[in-house]
Amino acid sequence: MFTGIIEEVGLIKSFKKQNNGAFITVSCNKITEDMKIGDSISINGVCQTVVEMSENSFQADVSDETLSVTNFSDIKQGDKVNLERALSLNSRIGGHIVSGHVESTVKFLNSEKQSEFYNMYFEIDENFSKYVIKKGSITLNGVSLTVADMTENVIMTAVIPHTYENTNLSELKSGDRVNLETDIFAKYIEKFLLNKTVQSVITEDFLKVNGFM
């Protein structure tokens, strides 16, 4: 579990595709300080397990499933990636609850600098846009962001200078694929409401039976 607050931007030292997935090596400076084999690390929003490590780098095995639904298939040596260690029980949640289970990718369209802020526009597949609302939370390349505006399948986020300068969002070019994780609570609510054993119309009796009143 993560918060979407990026701790460090690392560099892809190597990315070797194999018959079954890939093997990734990431160079970094800070997050290896208390890292150990088996730890979960968010790489561009994708939860990965540390299988090898040294003082300034770590390695992870990438599954075929991850390659198929994330932008990892586009990764090449020298690329910058957003890194975050797993949430600890004594940590403040500065962003929002992020699982690290990327669902798909969105397409970066363009950005506009507004004073000190950056309005960034992304095209999202309609299968996932239903989980996104204006002023709601969204995770893009592992970064916790707020949806400032949404028109059909285009979302806009207003990115503060600190986030823009300390993540790989500043490296994006038009057409780039960006890892997407929508708000996990929206999916739980959808499943709950679509359950055939639950009434489709919310009534006072429904709220009482399900503990809301």
Q: What is the mean pLDDT of each run of 10 residues along the chain (213 residues)?
A: 95 93 95 94 97 95 96 96 90 84 96 93 94 94 96 95 96 97 84 66 69 66
Core vs surface per residue 54-72: b (16+ CB within 10 A) or e: eeebbbbbbeeebbebbbb
Question: Given this model, what pLDDT does residue 109 score?
Answer: 98
DSSP string for 13-69: EEEEEETTEEEEEEE-SSTTTT--TT-EEEETTEEEEEEEEETTEEEEEE-HHHHHH
Give the count of domains, the chain.
Answer: 2
* pLDDT value of residue 200: 54
How many CB atoms are closer than 10 A to CB 53? 19
Domain that holds residue 19: 8-85
pLDDT, residue 155, reads 97
Give the CATH number, domain containing residue 154: 2.40.30.20
Q: Which two tokens stand for residue 76?
A: 């090449």
pLDDT at 209: 76
In a domain, 98, yes or no: no
Identify the three-state secondary structure at position 147.
Answer: strand
| Max Cα distance, the chain (Å) | 59
SS3 71: helix
Which of 183, 155, 179 is closest to 169 using CA atoms?
A: 179
Looking at the chain, list the stretches that DSSP marks H as alpha helix, in order from N- to C-terminal side: 64-69, 126-129, 161-165, 184-194, 204-209
Predicted TM-score of the model (pTM) = 0.87
Residues 43, 112, single domain; the answer is: no
One domain, residues 17 and 52? yes
Residue 92 domain-assigned (yes or no): no
Domain shared by 124 and 60, yes or no: no
Structural domain includes residue 211? no
Instruction: Note whether residue 200 is domain-resident.
Output: no
Q: Do 179 and 141 have their domain in common?
A: yes
CA-based radius of gyration for the chain: 19
Is position 76 within any domain? yes
Res 202: pLDDT: 63
